[in-house]
Amino acid sequence: MTNAEPESCNVNLYEDLKLSEMTPFAEGDHRLCYQHPRQPELCVKVNREGKDLALWKRAPFYKKLRSVKSFNDNWQEYLSFQQPAVAANTPGIWRHIPRCYGWVKTDMGDGLITDYYVRENHEPAWTLADYLSTQGADKKLSAAIAEFIACLRKTRLITKNLLPHNILVVEDGKDVRLVLIDGFGSLSRLPLYRFKCLAGPYVEKRIKRFFVRINWELSDKAITWEEAQKRNIGDEKDFV
């Protein structure tokens, strides 16, 4: 397996991008994802119009005390990229998360720029969800999972639950590696970023839940994900 880290690139943040006439390469619940029109190695994500306000309106009253911006996924992701685990620039971390280069103005709202991952045929990289449903948990994937969780443990990267559609399986020579592209940040109210002793157990919980999720993705899905979480079946030793 190659240990080289992908290089970062120079990004022009001062140009206005016209995205409205382009087709996004992917759409999530919260954001539209575009390939940068002039720098094909970059991804530009914009929030779905009005999504943050709609989420704010649906929130319980105590959450309405927060600003509408705090419901903006792009903004939350940008803030989460400032966390100590990323700022520390720990060797190896860039094999598993994209670099976040900042904001550009677009005709569809503020665009957050990160690395863009493609397959050999230039199509967007497979997600882990795609990979599990087509190839299953094969040897290549086990090695990639082991490297990924070792990085989470080493860096104590704070993430939400690690969902297979938010993780890419990126070709890496003859091997593959996992890259988290969504779901950065904390689910907890504890000051995880300040105290390593809190971050460690939090990361372990995310890892345990990750294996429960993989186990469920590989099952016939006869039970719901909510039920699978309660049963808590799926362990590191089954996949690594």
Ligand X SMILES: Nc1ncnc2c1ncn2[C@@H]1O[C@H](COP(=O)(O)OP(=O)(O)OP(=O)(O)O)[C@@H](O)[C@H]1O
The answer for residues whose C-beta is within 8 angstroms of residue 82's C-beta and 6 or more apart is none
Give the residue with the Cβ less far from Mg ion, 155 or 166.
Answer: 166
Give the residue with the Cβ less far from ligand X, 183 or 234.
Answer: 183
Residue by residue, DSSP assigns 168-183 as EEEEETTEEEEEE-S-
The answer for residues whose C-beta is within 8 angstroms of residue 18's C-beta and 6 or more apart is 37, 106, 107
Which positions lie near ligand X, rule CB under 6 A? 26, 28-31, 33, 43, 45, 73, 98, 114-117, 124-125, 127, 165-166, 168, 181-182
Q: How far is the CB of 201 from Mg ion (least distance, A)?
A: 25
Q: Which does 125 bind (CB under 5 to 8 A by kind): Mg ion, ligand X, none?
A: ligand X
Spatial separation of the C-alpha atoms in residues 74 and 111, rounded to whole Å: 8
Should residue 185 be labelled a site residue for Mg ion when binding is judged by CB under 5 A?
A: no
Give the residue with the Cβ less far from ligand X, 45 or 177.
Answer: 45
Member of 6, 28, 84, 124 binding Mg ion (CB under 5 A): 28
Count of residues in the chain: 240
DSSP-derived pairing of the beta strands 26-27 and 42-47: unpaired
Which residues on adjacent β-strands are paired with residue 34?
A: 44
Should residue 166 be labelled a site residue for Mg ion when binding is judged by CB under 5 A?
A: yes
Residue 217: φ, ψ to 5°: -60, -35
Q: How far is the CB of 200 from ligand X (least distance, A)?
A: 26
Query: Which residues make up the interface to Mg ion (CB under 5 A)?
Result: 28, 166, 182
